[in-house]
Structure 1
């Protein structure tokens, strides 16, 4: 499964059904804190319902949704289902409903929230996301030139350098083949210490 997210920025559309107006707003987020800021900024306190869904993370994902007093399962869950179906993450989608006076019923209401989310998300440019490896490793100082050359050749940036008894580098790698080659290189060092974390 190749996860995607939406482009940076805030995106919005709206449509009307039986005098109820549905306004959909979506944005890229990367944390629960950003979700809270998004909701505080864009929810409409004069509207009857502010329903939303979100998903965060690449390797370890978390998500959720809110029906905001709509009948259970007719609002937040359909929005979340659109996010899941499109294999999106790092995203928040808010659908604001201004009630027009006519009850829609569970089926039409579910379809309205689904349509609100899918029409907006299908109009936004998507970005492919890759799992990344955060690698911290130690090596003998005599191998520094060899390590630096490998990192330069493969466009790997050193996020952190430490020089204690032996050098310790921390790099982030998204290419599985380069990750394997780097692991093989490190394995040939006699004094290697390696810590790998997927992020």
Structure 2
């Protein structure tokens, strides 16, 4: 699993006009290539009467998959510029479709590159670029008398407390960045004099906004 990557949080639709040509960008987060293909076909069906439905997508996994199509525009003037925007912004697991309704004025190769690049940028920004970070669930069970001190330590070090259960003892679930769980366990042991029961659980991705604040 990738420790950290950028993607988009939402689906988004943006639109602008260039020399009477109408450009509509649809963006969607996708996890698999099949998702990207399904999304592209959906947009093509929705805009069946458009002059062009240009697309680009980038999907991470065991290997990086990146594909694009000019959909009838001159080679290298549409799909590749859109993919270059995805690469430049460092975004993965995303599909972008830029639809063009021709307005009667030719844009030329450089004009097309600018237009499709602009369309891709607008769409990705509107979809909100976020960071997905792999974390480990660390479950800590301890006596109530130790809870206040440990909670203070966790919050002081900006650890993410996912859940707290109050029973016979207190059970805290902390999300810690993958690879840092051993350091956390050491801190917990030191702060509880070894009186806490600690167990590492499953891994999951958390989502951080552009300022590094937790979204979900």
- Structure 1 length as normaliser, TM-score? 0.67
Are the aligned partners of 1:56 and 1:91 in contact in 2 as well (CA < 8 Å)? Answer: yes
CA separation in 2, counterparts of 1:110 and 1:80?
Answer: 11
Aligned residues: 153
1:72 equivalent in structure 2: 75
Deviation at 1:3, TM superposition (A): 2.5
Are the aligned partners of 2:4 and 2:134 in contact in 1 as well (CA < 8 Å)? Answer: no
2:64 equivalent in structure 1: 61
1:4 equivalent in structure 2: 6
CA separation in 1, counterparts of 2:56 and 2:181?
Answer: 36
In the alignment, structure 1 segments of 5+ residues that lack a partner are 134-149, 157-172, 183-198
1:103 equivalent in structure 2: 106
1:22 equivalent in structure 2: 23
* Alignment match of 1:152 (pick from 139, 142, 145): 139
RMSD: 3.1
CA separation in 2, counterparts of 1:179 and 1:129?
Answer: 21
Q: Name which of structure 1's ranges 54-63 and 82-91 shifts more when overlaid on structure 2.
A: 54-63
* Alignment match of 2:133 (pick from 126, 130, 133): 130
SS in structure 2 at match of 1:101 = coil
Are the aligned partners of 2:82 and 2:120 in contact in 1 as well (CA < 8 Å)? Answer: yes
CA separation in 1, counterparts of 2:53 and 2:125?
Answer: 21
Deviation at 1:49, TM superposition (A): 0.5
In the alignment, structure 2 segments of 5+ residues that lack a partner are 141-159, 163-175, 186-204, 206-216
1:18/1:41 CA distance change after superposition, 3 Å? same
Following superposition of structure 1 onto structure 2, how do residues 158-177 of structure 1 map, counting pairs within 5 Å? 175-177=178-180
SS in structure 1 at match of 2:36 = helix
Q: Deviations over 1:130-166 (max 9, x none)?
A: 3579xxxxxxxxxxxxxxxx9523989xxxxxxxxxx
Deviation at 1:63, TM superposition (A): 1.0
Are the aligned partners of 2:14 and 2:126 in contact in 1 as well (CA < 8 Å)? Answer: no
Q: Deviations over 1:18-42 (max 9, x none)?
A: 1111000000001111112101211
SS in structure 2 at match of 1:54 = strand
Are the aligned partners of 2:56 and 2:68 in contact in 1 as well (CA < 8 Å)? Answer: yes
- Structure 2 length as normaliser, TM-score? 0.62
